[in-house]
Amino acid sequence: MKEEKYDISGMHCAACSASVEKVTRKLPGVERSDVNLTTEIMTIRYDESQVTPEQIVAKVEKAGFGCTLHAEKKEPQNAEDAEEKALRRRKYELIIAAVFSVALLYVSMGQMLPFGLPSLPLPDLFSMHTHPVNFAIAQLLLTVPVLYCGRNFFISGFKALLHGNPNMDSLVAIGSACSFAYSVVMTFLISDDPHTYVHNLYYESSAVVLTLVSLGKFMESRNMQKTKGAITALMRLAPDTAILADTGREVPTESLKTGDTVLVKPGARVPADGVVARGESSVNEAMLTGESLPVEKAPGSEVIGGSVNQNGVLYVQVTRTGEDTTLARIIRFVEDAQGKKAPISKTADKVAGVFVPTVMGIALLAAVAWAVAGQPFAFVLRVFTSVLVIACPCALGLATPTAIMVGTGLGARHGILIRSGEILEITHSVDTVVLDKTGTVTKGEPAVTSVVPYQCGGDALLTAAAAVESVSAHPLAAAITAYAATQGLGELPKPESFENLSGRGLRAVLEGETVLAGNRRLLEEAGIDPTPLLAEAERLASQGQTPMFFARDGALLGLISVADGVKETSAAAIAKMKAAGIRTVLLTGDNHAAAGHIGQLVGVDEVIAEVLPEEKAGVIQKLQAQGRKVMMVGDGINDAPALTQAEVGCAIGSGSDIAIESADIVLMRDDLQDVPRALRLSALTLRDIKQNLFWAFCYNTIGIPVAAGLLYCFGGPLLSPMFAGAAMSLSSVCVVGNALRLGRADLQ
């Protein structure tokens, strides 16, 4: 099976996207086809042996839409300029249409106002009573420019109608065209019977409907540009050029290769992922990780392409370029999420697929019913036009994708990357969060937790320990030397010789004296009694710590304990999840004592310890068999099967690439509090989608019967096509506006 993306042009509402899905799903070998109305991208999965890209394109084009293989936007600046240019053109056309529409309303309905028409050079020139022909022709001339400005409705609407896929533009085009055509006929008949035909002109309905719908579409498009802001902002992060350190030459960023060293000046953006070779500075990574504070960088530190160097000069050796960079992966992640549909949108899609034909049938049925009831043709036309114009599949089609686009964008700004709209919806239903211990709940690196001297000072113990451990490459040794560096001990003495003793520790000669560093067995072999510190060592070991004994010149110095420390935010994050009614489980391969101690520190509901890497997915399966919706949070390669098995796999962004690729959600920061934030983001987005769908369905359920004359049957008013057009536009604007409101939500 092959999955491809295609850019679809010519779509104007949910009925359009539903039509494209319908025709492509009928092709042999197509497993699925999803069209995102907001991004105008079709994602199709098909069997290459049964269907070709050419056949897919031909099928879509036959349905009346443009179709080209999706190309990644290498120049987002130009793409946005094109969008802004099109929006600006629509704005000018809208202003022209509005001016002529106001003038048309003034001429057609001015005499109905209490003060009548103002004094003109020829006061009666446009009077419907004294000059009915002039009155009609003036309206005709004022309507034509409005129809021209709204020509896209007619081009798109009638084209879709001819291809058998009527859309929202078809409804507006038919309604406006009927009103205009009827008015033109009345204009030619006025000279025969002025007093009868002059009251049957509906030019203002034809023009004002177009203007109001155009206003709604313009506001909708402008707001939709804002919903795409997350992708645009991310794409703008990558600088166009980079400075090569060896030559000082400025080159395009795309030409950089792995191994190149680039110069990053203060205030400049890092052109690609890399490692600092020289220099020190603080780097702002907020747009990529959501981390508000600048991160200090020194030689050996990793930097992310797109982050901003704030003060010092950095020389960065490039490690990843092009599509392999962190920024490119984030953009791909967010784009994929915005292009995939949530399950809740399927209901709206099914409705939208039959909505327009149904509305046309209702309009025709209502018109025939009123004609049979004896109403004049003008009345029947008004009902027919109002039903066509008020129906709005746009609101239905925009309800889900706009909320998903804004929700994923909000997540990206907080360093939370969601893989798909489906995951965004499923996350809300999670009731159990399984947490890997090492690197997720804990820091993932050993650190000194206790220094216990025996018959000597703490500095003496730490100096001897750090001096001998400085020659060892063991992670526990690195923890001790790193801790000693923070205690202000000054320059440490250098060991004169040292020997690694397998399974026991090491022996070194320091300032002419033998120093031992290791476990109890090492001291006992040397005839040194560790008994005074055994009880403390056993207590620390029961908490999952690793105690190491130290002796100098045959005398016990003390012990230093090392452990993988808990992250500062882990307990608070777990408390938030528990407060939300979510069960938390700590899953680890460590022994029960160590795991139990960590579990007690952070307050999880359950600890599952001594689990082999290949058994982690099985633990998830058992929880699922109990009816639980599970989120797995991990960072290592051994977590990948469990991440895939869980309903929602959540990877810590600093973890392995395999874990990230296996995950549905990626947290760019090493902060477990982003897990409850992701859960809240899902809940807020789903709430927004439900609100949008409710108002879209509610609007159409109420609006169409009113437009068909339901209120008139009980002595109420008959809806004007102008008010129908205004209401239709307002519904779409409200849906998009509600989605934009989500972008200002607080995830705390």
Question: Looking at 169, 349, 436, 664, which residue is catalytic?
Answer: 436
Burial of 524 (C-beta count, 10 Å sphere; 0-12/13-18/19+)? middle
CA distances from 104 to 139, 192, 704 (A): 6, 24, 27
Say how many C-beta atoms besides its own lie within 10 A of residue 373's C-beta.
Answer: 11
What lies within 8 Å, CB to CB, of 204 at 6+ separation is: 101, 104, 105, 108, 109, 139, 722
**What stretch of H or E contains 586?**
strand 583-587
Is residue 192 flagged as an active site residue? Answer: no
Mapped to the 3 state alphabet, what secondary structure does 218-248 carry? HHHHHHHHHHCHHHHHHHHHCCCEEEECCCC
- For 178, left (φ over 0), alpha (ψ -120 to 50), or beta? alpha
At 536, the amino acid letter reads E
How far apart are alpha carbons 212 and 696 in whole angstroms? Answer: 18
Helix (H, G, I), strand (E, B) or coil at 558: strand
DSSP codes joined into one string, 2-58: EEEEEEEES--SHHHHHHHHHHHHTSTTEEEEEEETTTTEEEEEE-TTT--HHHHHH
- Nearest by Cα to 682 from 419, 492, 501: 419
**What stretch of H or E contains 445?**
strand 442-453
Q: What is the β-pairing status of strands 546-552 and 555-566? A: antiparallel
Burial track 594-616 (b if 16+ CB lie within 10 A, e otherwise): bbbbbbebbebeebbbebeeeeb
Burial track 180-213 (b if 16+ CB lie within 10 A, e otherwise): bebbbebbeebeeebeebbebbbbbbbbbbbbbb
Crossing angle of helices 592-602 and 570-579, rounded to 10°: 70
Location of structure tokens 């990843």 = 320
Report the chain's C-alpha Rg in angstroms: 35
Burial of 667 (C-beta count, 10 Å sphere; 0-12/13-18/19+)? buried
How far apart are alpha carbons 702 and 705 in whole angstroms? Answer: 6
How far apart are alpha carbons 602 and 588 in whole angstroms? Answer: 14
The pair of structure tokens assigned to 222 is 């402008």
CB 51 within 8 A of CB 29: yes
The pair of structure tokens assigned to 298 is 């020194």
- Backbone phi, then psi, for 509, in 5-degree steps? -105, 120
Supply the residues annotated as catalytic.
Answer: 436
